[in-house]
Structure 1
Amino acid sequence: MISATLGVEHFSATHWKSLRYFNLYRFVVATLLFTSALLYPSAFPILSPNQSLQHLALASVYLLSTTLAVLLAFRHRWHARMQLTASVFVDVLVMTLLIHIGGGLDSGLGAMLLVTLAGAGLVGEGRLVLFYAAMATLALLFEHSYRALQHDIDVAGFFHAGLFSAGFFAVAVSARLLARRVIANEALALQRGVDLNNQTLISQRVIEEMQDGVVVLRRDGRVKQCNPRARQVLGLDSSREDLLAEYSPELALGFVEWCRSGSDDVVLVHVPASGMQLRARFAPTESSESDVLVFLEDLGRLQEQAQQLKLAALGRLTANIAHEIRNPLSAISHAGELLREERRGETYERLLRIMLDNTRRLERIVSDVLELGRRDRTYRELIDLRATLPLLVEEYLAKEALSADVVRLELSGVAALCFDRSHFHQVLGNLLGNALRHSQRMAGSVRLVACDGKADAQVELHVIDDGEGVGEGQREHIFEPFFTTHHRGTGLGLYIARELCDANATLLELHASRPGADFRLLGRSSGCH
């Protein structure tokens, strides 16, 4: 496209290429005219010797002008309109003079003007194209009029010149209309190419970032393409097209069965390379080679997501229930305290004690559940474990009426943790209570070990007891709500501790389970806010 900004003219790359080809054509024509005039003057038998010299001089000037036009078009990408207009003007002038020297339109050189105007119509603008056609028409009519003044008036010659003039306008306008259509189609094709490239990049990025594996299979069972997730779960080599059976025989059998039956059923397979259980789904494509898409989902991840949704729903439900039962529970507890003041015998006292103990247990469960509602309201600060842990341990042991040497502190390294202070007290209280409940309650039965982690600014805090540890069948359930191995436990302590650690960007895990249990907090000593 041609546009003007601040008086500076700009041609598109396509227009510049067309202008260069146009000038190259003119250069070739000028070279042929010069060569014929120099070496084969007999090629123009209508010319006299004097006219042959004029033809040679004119061809020489034309060759020099076309050479200059070619250099300008290739070396200087500015003033394109001026370059095109100058080229057309030179062509009209030279061809008109050649027609005059050659004896008029009978020389056959008038057709050269038609080619020039066609080329200018493909490159130039609409108004300029009409100007070029008018310029050629006036030059031809002026030449014929000048010839008529010197010789007898030839009416047939004027009619011939008029037909040529009409042809000038027809060729110029037709070439311009064709050029506009070509330019529009080229712009549309270019835009569609850009859109297609953008869509390809987006689709490629989406496929690469997908959590599910995507594999493109040929009908012979060879892997054609796959995304990074599929390479990870199947152990594929992206540099070659291997048979799927080499990586997962079960998936290959499922693919053969799908090709035979065309069923939409999901196939459950085991992958030896990664040890994962996958759910595979096959889908045909409309490609020319009838490739097949295979979507791979990690069953472990799906189960984990389902478990998280289940726990979240359970947490919301229990929180709502806790709000509803707290008031009547307080009333029952208060009534029990009033009844204790009456003395009605041992049976009455025993039943009343059972009621109050269970009321306090329910109150503890309600308090733990409501504590979960405050997990997202965190204010993380840098807690100095050397100053905080001794006070917390002393307070807890005093409340439980235990000896001061039951819990032993081992502090080293930075011993500082980014955590919400109230959350830290809650987490440590739960972990200490769990450790003391399962320990032998002797000197050093529970150890609190704070040390630097393996990564920079990483801190580890271990709560270790000397109990029997956690059985293998209980490890995966230890952090689930309401799971407990103690008859007096609520099953919420470890669950709440992990939830509060997650809210503070700290990992709580069962590091070791035998002998004794080792719960580890893995956090950071920097970046608190």
Structure 2
Amino acid sequence: MVGSLSADVDPSRRLSLRYFNLFRLIVGGLFVVAGREIDLGSYHQFVYNAASFAYLGAVLALGFPDMQRRFGIDRVILVQVVVDVCLLTAIMWASGGYRSGMPVLMMVILAGAGLVAEGRTVLFFAALTTVLVLGENVWRYLKGAQPADFFQVGMACLGFFGIAIVARLLALRAKANASLAAERGQALARQQALNERIIRDMQDGVIVIGTDGRARQANPRACALLGLQSVEGLNLADVDPAFCELFSCGAVDSRLLRLGPAGRLLRCRTVCGEPGSAAADATVIYLTDFEEVQRQMQQVKLAALGRLTASMAHEIRNPLSAVTQAAELLTEEKRTDMQLRLARIINDNARRIERMIRDVLALGRREQAEPEPLELAGYVAELIEALALRSADERAVFAQDIPPGLTLAIDRAHLHQILDNLLTNARRYCSGQPGSVRIRASALPGGRVALHVRDDGPGIDESTRANLFEPFFTTHPKGTGLGLYIARELAEANDATLELGPERPGAHFVLTGDSRA
């Protein structure tokens, strides 16, 4: 039980007791070795020698850590101080009284006891020392000493209590400060761990760079946005020369830059350390995925547009039906060629408006996807046959290169709509020669499949490529600008991607998804 209590002692208290024992050991050695040289033991040499050796033996016996573990640190301190006071009193008696300087040494002992003892034990030590010193002086007075000695001894005894109390108060204050420092250290550690977690999980990238342009710290999001495994320790100017524009802290506004191997469009904001602070030589760069911001803004716009178009669709379709019916009735009567041409124009534009309304309504009505493994070779062949019903020459425009048995996990109706849009666009812009539209598929690592649709047309210029998948963007005079946007939305609904491929000069689209549902 005592051993377990001793194990819970404050380490700082153990360290103080260790230095206290070292001081006692030095004092005991001086008593034994140099007692005569400093004129100690002049009154009674035998008592002095016995007390000196006893003091040194007590220091050696009680100063080992094993005694603290066996009896408890409080009991060891009590025995040590009592033995010190009693033996120092004996040395003082054998050396001629208080003029030997022993009261001063006793004050040091009481000060050390005040630092390592607990509770009111320090007052007990001061009282014991006072009684022994006064008793020694009374004995001398009875032997013929001067009464005036009592004043100096009394002042020394007052000093015993004063030093003991002050030492104890200092020990309590040091302990309170140590406890407060420990609590604040724990709170700081918790706050630091929380801050690190927040920075690690935040959606923005954070990079801390030094005056040499090297990254000191970076959160995982910054590495992901830049397309790097790690950023710390790298010279950012070597990663991308565009970083040089961010090292200056003069500008307040954020900048839009394409940074790193990923080439993502990022909003970059630079914050410099305040002069005179600990982080004065550090610069913080915040990176925000502007492409994601654009997508979110677009989703908000499309949601509002969907609500607007849904309310307008009914109002447009009713008069549109009446116009279409009137045009059909007009064609049934015997009219001139000009009237027939006008009726045909009315029907064509009515069907175009109907198709536009259907595509706009599809923006806000994405159906739940039901992916299934579709055998691509047979599915694409059937779709091509449906598109080329008019003639055999039309069928020759499409060239298919898909390995048998290769499957793509996607909703059947969604795949039909995606490929119908891609093949219709490819047929519209291709040269019309045999094999001018090529459809091929290949297996990718990780169970993925890539389906490529490419034509030999003029291709897509750089300005058009940036806006190709935006809604209502079209280069065809009769297009709605929703086909590719809806195709990409349907692909994402099936955990697939539809991207513009790198091959040129013709247009090249790649649909990538899992081979199994």
Q: Which residue of 1 aligns with 2:423?
A: 432
Contact 1:247 1:273 in 2 (8 A): no
Distance in 1 separating the partners of 2:235 and 2:312: 63
For the structure 1 residues 240 and 86, does the alpha-carbon distance in structure 2 shift closer, same or farther, using more than 3 Å as the test? farther
Please state if 1:43 is matched with 2:43.
Answer: no
Deviating more after overlay: 155-164 vs 505-514: 155-164
Contact 1:20 1:74 in 2 (8 A): no
Please state if 1:320 is matched with 2:307.
Answer: yes
SS at match of 2:470: coil
Contact 2:39 2:95 in 1 (8 A): no
Following TM superposition, by how much is the alpha carbon of 1:123 offset from its aligned partner in structure 2, in angstroms?
Answer: 1.9
Q: Which residue of 2 aligns with 1:34?
A: 32
Q: Which residue of 2 aligns with 1:11?
A: 9
Following TM superposition, by how much is the alpha carbon of 1:492 offset from its aligned partner in structure 2, in angstroms?
Answer: 1.0
Percentage identity across paired residues of the two chains: 32
Residue 55 of structure 2 is aligned with which of 62, 72, 77? 62
1:308 aligned partner, one-letter code: R
SS at match of 2:125: helix
Distance in 2 separating the partners of 1:100 and 1:495: 106
For the structure 1 residues 288 and 111, does the alpha-carbon distance in structure 2 shift closer, same or farther, using more than 3 Å as the test? same
Q: Which residue of 2 aligns with 1:114?
A: 107
2:389 aligned partner, one-letter code: A
Please state if 1:390 is matched with 2:382.
Answer: no
Contact 1:438 1:467 in 2 (8 A): yes
For the structure 1 residues 284 and 166, does the alpha-carbon distance in structure 2 shift closer, same or farther, using more than 3 Å as the test? closer
Distance in 1 separating the partners of 2:369 and 2:303: 23
Q: Which residue of 2 aligns with 1:471?
A: 461
* Structure-1-length-normalised TM-score: 0.75
1:46 aligned partner, one-letter code: S
Following TM superposition, by how much is the alpha carbon of 1:108 offset from its aligned partner in structure 2, in angstroms?
Answer: 2.8
- What pairs up with 1:116-195 in 2 under 5 angstroms? 116-141=109-134, 147=139, 151=143, 162-192=154-184
Q: Which residue of 1 aligns with 2:357?
A: 366
Distance in 2 separating the partners of 1:413 and 1:22: 89
Q: Which residue of 2 aligns with 1:285?
A: 274
Please state if 1:514 is matched with 2:504.
Answer: yes
Distance in 2 separating the partners of 1:77 and 1:460: 76
Distance in 1 separating the partners of 2:127 and 2:243: 79
Give a deviation string over 1:23-60, Cα, whole Å, max 9, x none: 111111111112134xx378225333xxx233223222
Residue 483 of structure 1 is aligned with which of 473, 493, 502? 473
Distance in 1 separating the partners of 2:456 and 2:120: 98
SS at match of 1:11: coil
For the structure 1 residues 78 and 294, does the alpha-carbon distance in structure 2 shift closer, same or farther, using more than 3 Å as the test? same
Contact 1:418 1:523 in 2 (8 A): yes
Distance in 1 separating the partners of 2:427 and 2:236: 57
SS at match of 1:462: strand
Following TM superposition, by how much is the alpha carbon of 1:483 offset from its aligned partner in structure 2, in angstroms?
Answer: 2.0
| Contiguous gaps of at least 5 residues in structure 1 | none
Give a deviation string over 1:328-352, Cα, whole Å, max 9, x none: 2331343235322453435555444
Deviating more after overlay: 155-164 vs 432-441: 155-164
Distance in 1 separating the partners of 2:432 and 2:235: 63
Contact 1:384 1:415 in 2 (8 A): no
Give a deviation string over 1:293-341, Cα, whole Å, max 9, x none: 7666889x64x45643553344223312320122123313432353224
What is the aligned length? 498
2:348 aligned partner, one-letter code: D
1:115 aligned partner, one-letter code: V
SS at match of 1:43: coil
For the structure 1 residues 13 and 422, does the alpha-carbon distance in structure 2 shift closer, same or farther, using more than 3 Å as the test? farther
1:329 aligned partner, one-letter code: I
| Contiguous gaps of at least 5 residues in structure 2 | none
Contact 1:448 1:463 in 2 (8 A): yes
Distance in 2 separating the partners of 1:447 and 1:511: 13
Q: Which residue of 2 aligns with 1:450?
A: 441
Q: Which residue of 2 aligns with 1:459?
A: 449
Give a deviation string over 1:374-394, Cα, whole Å, max 9, x none: 45x75564x3232x6624652
For the structure 1 residues 9 and 153, does the alpha-carbon distance in structure 2 shift closer, same or farther, using more than 3 Å as the test? farther
Give a deviation string over 1:246-294, Cα, whole Å, max 9, x none: 9689859x95xx8xxx786789999999999997867573127995776
- What pairs up with 1:62-81 in 2 under 5 angstroms? 62-72=55-65, 79-81=72-74
Following TM superposition, by how much is the alpha carbon of 1:238 offset from its aligned partner in structure 2, in angstroms?
Answer: 8.1
Following TM superposition, by how much is the alpha carbon of 1:485 offset from its aligned partner in structure 2, in angstroms?
Answer: 2.7
Distance in 2 separating the partners of 1:274 and 1:447: 29
Distance in 1 separating the partners of 2:99 and 2:377: 113
- What pairs up with 1:340-359 in 2 under 5 angstroms? 340-341=328-329, 343-344=332-333, 345-346=335-336, 347-359=338-350
Contact 1:423 1:500 in 2 (8 A): yes
Contact 2:215 2:233 in 1 (8 A): no
Distance in 2 separating the partners of 1:139 and 1:332: 119
Residue 22 of structure 2 is aligned with which of 24, 28, 44? 24
SS at match of 1:64: helix
Distance in 1 separating the partners of 2:421 and 2:71: 80
Distance in 1 separating the partners of 2:205 and 2:267: 13
SS at match of 1:488: coil
1:432 aligned partner, one-letter code: L
Distance in 2 separating the partners of 1:358 and 1:109: 119
Distance in 1 separating the partners of 2:451 and 2:14: 72
Following TM superposition, by how much is the alpha carbon of 1:176 offset from its aligned partner in structure 2, in angstroms?
Answer: 1.2
Distance in 2 separating the partners of 1:314 and 1:511: 27
* Structure-2-length-normalised TM-score: 0.76
Distance in 1 separating the partners of 2:196 and 2:282: 15
Q: Which residue of 2 aligns with 1:89?
A: 82
Contact 2:373 2:515 in 1 (8 A): no
1:394 aligned partner, one-letter code: E
Give a deviation string over 1:362-410, Cα, whole Å, max 9, x none: 33333333333345x75564x3232x66246525743773568455543
